Amino acid sequence: MPHRVVPRATLVIATVVAVVAAAVGALAAWRLVSPETPLARAMALVPADATRFSWTDWAGVRAELGADLDARSSAEEVEAFLAEAFEEDLSSMSALATSAGVMQDELGFSPATVSWELLAQSGSGAVAVMGVGDDVDLDRVADLLASHGWSPPDDPGGVWEGGPDVLSGVGPMLTPELQHLALLADEGVVLASDQAPHLEQVLRVVAGEADGADGLAEVVARLEEPLAAAAYDGAYACEHLAMAQADDAARAEADGLLAAAGEVHPLTGFAMGVLPGGDVRAVLQVEDADDAPRDAEARAALASGPAPGQGGDFTDRFSVEAAGAEGREVVLDLRPVAGSYVLSDLTSGPVLFATC
Predicted confidence at residue 66, as pLDDT, reads 98
C-alpha 56/C-alpha 72 separation (Å) is 22
C-alpha 53/C-alpha 169 separation (Å) is 29
29 exposed, middle or buried (CB, 10 Å; 0-12, 13-18, 19+)? Answer: exposed
Q: Name the phi and psi angles at 31, rounded to 5.
A: -145, 160
> Residue 156: CB partners within 8 Å, gap ≥ 6?
183, 185
Predicted confidence at residue 36, as pLDDT, reads 79
C-alpha 89/C-alpha 229 separation (Å) is 10
C-alpha 108/C-alpha 49 separation (Å) is 31
4 exposed, middle or buried (CB, 10 Å; 0-12, 13-18, 19+)? Answer: middle
Buried b (16+ CB within 10 A) or exposed e, 252-275: ebbeebbeebbebbebbbbbbbbb
Q: Mean pLDDT per segment of 10 residues, for the chain of length 356 residues?
A: 38 35 34 66 96 98 98 97 98 95 97 98 96 96 98 95 96 94 97 97 96 95 97 96 92 96 96 98 98 98 97 97 96 97 96 95
C-alpha 211/C-alpha 206 separation (Å) is 9
